[in-house]
Structure 1
Amino acid sequence: MTGNRVVITGYGVTSPIGHTPEDFWNSLYEGRIGIKPITKFDVSEIEVRNAGEIQDFPFEKYFVKKDTNRMDLYSLYALYAALEALEHAGLDMNQVNRDRTGVIVSSGIGGLQELEEQILRMGERGMKRIKPMFIPKALSNMGAGNIALKIGAQGVCKSVTTACASANDAIGEAFREIKYGHQDVILAGGSEATITQIGIGGFNALTALSTTEDPARAAIPFDKDRNGFVMGEGAGVLVIESLEHAQQRGARILAEIVGYGSNCDAYHMTTPTPDGSGAAKAIKLALEEAQLEPAAVGYVNAHGTSTQANEKGESQAIVAVLGKEVPVSSTKSFTGHLLGAAGAVEAIATIETMRHGFIPKTAGTRELSADIEANVIYGQGQEAAVHYALSNTFGFGGHNAVLAFKRWEGEG
């Protein structure tokens, strides 16, 4: 079945490098990283010093104080990005079929701040002092649920939880729902707010986080000195529509989704297949659905977490399927790793790359590791006409999710 063509007509973002698509892109273009010393709590007990914290979140634009009693920070981020995406897309919810308008917004962990606070509260004051809204605030589906409640979307509403692949899987699921005619419009993406004591402490216990003190050299994907990832936070939400629906309402089209590949390594809880074979299969699946030859791909937004095992395998996967010439960069070097939200903000970065004809550098990276054969762009960005691009995400549990995008040039 060929199905509907599926396009993106808007997006919203809140991130360590900007709270609008314009600011987000300008930071990537100009090389401004959002990784800084952690300010949310005391980290003197551990060696981790840096994170991609949200600075100056424009809370007052959509929220009032009592909203914090009903929503965890990750839900606030998700709802902000969704409302921004609607505005960016010029989509009036009073002009759509609400039964065919859905929300698929994921989170890898959900309301971690609320979990931390209420477990500590229980330990200090007893079970009866747990706050009534604890469960609704902590659930990982409530980012999607709160968006649907706010905008009145009555179609599909769910959250896909596949660790760091969650947002790509959300976008991929939305793509398929629209491609096969089940929905007309879906707000899809991811949100995460895990820069908390238990979040940082937990990943530190796993020895997964960078211990480099210099923020400019903490997130250095593919670099010979990489020693772990940097936690980030934020949200990205995309307005995804059938081409017919978008054209009927006269929408500005930003890009087309043409393929989605999803599979599992089935190898290890936290380590990817050493040879990158699982990731390579996901890339191939995305290309097959897009009916794309490998040579057509002009850019890969890599998962690129700044960890040894992940990037060796990803480089091998990219080279095995696409060759050594395709430009590759990791925008996690600017934002840190947003876990379940990573794929959404990186999808926006990928689309903006195609729209502006400019490949962002991998910030902080100075010298590639000897085991990296992929064509990693670092030092400075690169002008390039990109007609097709891939965005990779790979998560704990062996989850792989790859999206294929096409630059919109007004055809069709």
Structure 2
Amino acid sequence: MTNLVNATGPVVVIRGRGRVSALGLAAGPAIVEASSFTTHATGVPVAALPAVAEATVAALRHSQPAFRQLDRTVLLALLAARQATTAAGWLSEANSQQPTLAVSIGSSRGATGRLEEFHVGFLADGSVPTAASPLTTLGNVASWVAFDAGSPGGAALSHSSTCSSAFQALGNALAWLKAGMADRFLAGGTEAPLTNFTLAQMRAIGIYSPLAAAEWPCRPGAGRPSTFVLGEGAAVFALEQLSAAQAAAETNPLLVLAGVGFGFEAIGSKTGLSADGRHFQQAMRLALTQAALTPADIDAVVLHSPGTPAGDAAERAALQAIFGEELPLLLSNKWLLGHTLGASAALSLDFACHVIETQQWPSAPFPTDLATTATKPIRRILVNAAGFGGNAASVLLARL
């Protein structure tokens, strides 16, 4: 069995991370006493920010005049990126000593709220403000994170590949760091899709949960009916590459991005996927290959599993193709914070970090195949993501 603790080459590590979701600013609670979902004005359950996190976002919006015009998606990314930068200790360094910092942020929809606002105005009077275009482009997200991080000259890259967008951003950051094209990266995903139009789109697909907000309406692995529920949030990671000698000299455990794999399949429906999850299989195999690990080395999998019966079943079929009948522990945070589209992969990775650091997670209060406890230490976790169009991504997280 390969042991990542004895790594002999450079590794990309997570120096710090930040997040915001229906759990507030926390990575994950040990015990959950009540549903984190609320009822939207349209009558459907959603995973919106709690009051304390909402106040933090409002304070950020009013902290600078330029921030008041930004879409909520951008503000969530700014908040998570600031947490990550602070946790990494980058803010305490003198400007003259700061290495090259680049930014890579994924989002499925981008500036959803502002785009809809501008469109309403256009329908009313046939015109839009001058700022409408720059405030609603996808690149608007990463460029504002880079600006706020004090890296106006570093790369600012935005990615959109539906619900795997955050891992596309993370994979790009990993490649740039390994190629020496940047010294540090802020990478992650963000989404604020709780608007009337976006919720109507999800309901039109026929996958939205019929359960009330108080009844834990998002239920990965629970079978029928479909229990997809939209949430909002962001997670950003502060990444650096260390040589083997630098990694060995660290006194504290390191969280390592050991592999990022991608999978693609041609399918008849852009909202569907193959029954055996071929794109999941490809992504997981590539992540394992990059890390020089085998399926037997994996202790747990954080599922993409959004609560749709077909999607949940396809991912589990893919897991059986990779691992056989004895699967690793199956974990999920979507029953706590919903499906956050382009932010979901990043929030799942943040949850995986939390599990490795604390060795605990809350148990789902409904029948499901999600694990409740571990019988051995969890050191290596695969994190899956998938999106419309036949794309999937897997990240292999390991403790060094």
Q: TM-score, normalised by structure 1?
A: 0.87
Q: Is the 8 A contact 2:379 2:399 kept in 1?
A: yes
1:336 and 2:331 are equivalent in the alignment: no
The aligned counterpart of 2:22 is 16
Q: Is the 8 A contact 2:356 2:379 kept in 1?
A: yes
Mapping of 1:172-211 within 5 angstroms? Answer: 172-211=171-210
- Unaligned segments of structure 2, at least 5 residues: 1-7
The alpha-carbon deviation at position 94 of structure 1 amounts to 3.7
The aligned counterpart of 1:140 is 138
Q: Indicate which of 387, 392, 399 corresponds to 1:400.
A: 392
Q: Is the 8 A contact 1:297 1:326 kept in 2?
A: yes
Q: Secondary structure of the residue that 1:227 maps to in structure 2? A: coil
Distance 1:96 1:73, change over 3 A: farther
1:5 and 2:11 are equivalent in the alignment: yes
- Residues 99-149 of structure 1, C-alpha deviations (whole Å, 9 max, x = no match): 73100011110011111111111112222xx23322222122212110111
Q: Is the 8 A contact 1:89 1:252 kept in 2?
A: no
Alignment coverage as a number of residue pairs: 384
Q: Secondary structure of the residue that 1:182 maps to in structure 2? A: coil
Q: Is the 8 A contact 1:167 1:343 kept in 2?
A: yes
- C-alpha RMSD over aligned residues: 2.4
Q: Is the 8 A contact 1:221 1:311 kept in 2?
A: yes
1:389 and 2:381 are equivalent in the alignment: yes
Distance 1:297 1:203, change over 3 A: same
Amino acid at match of 1:308: P
Distance 1:3 1:177, change over 3 A: farther
Partner Cα separation in structure 2 for residue 67 and residue 33 of structure 1: 37
Distance 1:176 1:140, change over 3 A: same
Q: Secondary structure of the residue that 1:278 maps to in structure 2? A: helix
The aligned counterpart of 1:54 is 49
The aligned counterpart of 1:266 is 266
The aligned counterpart of 2:223 is 224
Greater alpha carbon shift after TM alignment, 177-186 vs 52-61? 52-61
Partner Cα separation in structure 2 for residue 181 and residue 38 of structure 1: 47
The aligned counterpart of 2:240 is 241
Partner Cα separation in structure 2 for residue 302 and residue 241 of structure 1: 26
The aligned counterpart of 1:257 is 257
Distance 1:367 1:15, change over 3 A: closer
- Residues 138-176 of structure 1, C-alpha deviations (whole Å, 9 max, x = no match): 122212110111122233221111100001111121112
- Residues 306-336 of structure 1, C-alpha deviations (whole Å, 9 max, x = no match): 0011111100111110232310111111100
Q: Is the 8 A contact 1:107 1:141 kept in 2?
A: no
Partner Cα separation in structure 2 for residue 212 and residue 305 of structure 1: 15
Mapping of 1:320-359 within 5 angstroms? Answer: 320-323=321-324, 324-359=326-361
Distance 1:253 1:385, change over 3 A: closer
Partner Cα separation in structure 1 for residue 200 and residue 289 of structure 2: 41
Greater alpha carbon shift after TM alignment, 245-254 vs 70-79? 245-254
Q: Is the 8 A contact 1:263 1:281 kept in 2?
A: yes
Query: How many percent identity over aligned positions?
Result: 26
The aligned counterpart of 2:4 is none
The alpha-carbon deviation at position 59 of structure 1 amounts to 2.6
Greater alpha carbon shift after TM alignment, 280-289 vs 217-226? 217-226
Q: Is the 8 A contact 2:218 2:227 kept in 1?
A: yes
- Residues 21-43 of structure 1, C-alpha deviations (whole Å, 9 max, x = no match): xx332x2x21356642334xx31
Distance 1:113 1:61, change over 3 A: closer
Q: Is the 8 A contact 1:98 1:155 kept in 2?
A: no
Partner Cα separation in structure 2 for residue 174 and residue 96 of structure 1: 23
Q: Is the 8 A contact 1:295 1:322 kept in 2?
A: yes
The alpha-carbon deviation at position 252 of structure 1 amounts to 5.8
Mapping of 1:108-123 within 5 angstroms? Answer: 108-123=108-123
The alpha-carbon deviation at position 276 of structure 1 amounts to 1.3
Q: Is the 8 A contact 1:33 1:335 kept in 2?
A: no
Q: Secondary structure of the residue that 1:137 maps to in structure 2? A: helix
Amino acid at match of 1:50: P
The alpha-carbon deviation at position 88 of structure 1 amounts to 1.0
Mapping of 1:16-55 within 5 angstroms? Answer: 16-19=22-25, 23-25=26-28, 27=29, 29-31=30-32, 35-39=36-40, 42-44=41-43, 49-55=44-50
Q: Is the 8 A contact 2:220 2:368 kept in 1?
A: no
Mapping of 1:86-105 within 5 angstroms? Answer: 86-92=85-91, 94-95=94-95, 100-105=100-105
Partner Cα separation in structure 2 for residue 51 and residue 148 of structure 1: 30
Q: Is the 8 A contact 1:276 1:314 kept in 2?
A: yes
Q: TM-score, normalised by structure 2?
A: 0.89
Distance 1:162 1:10, change over 3 A: same
The aligned counterpart of 1:299 is 300
The alpha-carbon deviation at position 97 of structure 1 amounts to 6.5
The aligned counterpart of 2:148 is 150
Partner Cα separation in structure 2 for residue 300 and residue 193 of structure 1: 26
The aligned counterpart of 2:164 is 165
Q: Is the 8 A contact 1:190 1:343 kept in 2?
A: yes
The alpha-carbon deviation at position 302 of structure 1 amounts to 0.3
Q: Is the 8 A contact 1:219 1:226 kept in 2?
A: no
Distance 1:210 1:60, change over 3 A: closer
Give the ranges of 4+ consecutive aligned residues of structure 1 lying more than 3 Å apart after TM superposition. Answer: 32-35, 60-63, 65-69, 93-99, 244-254, 380-384
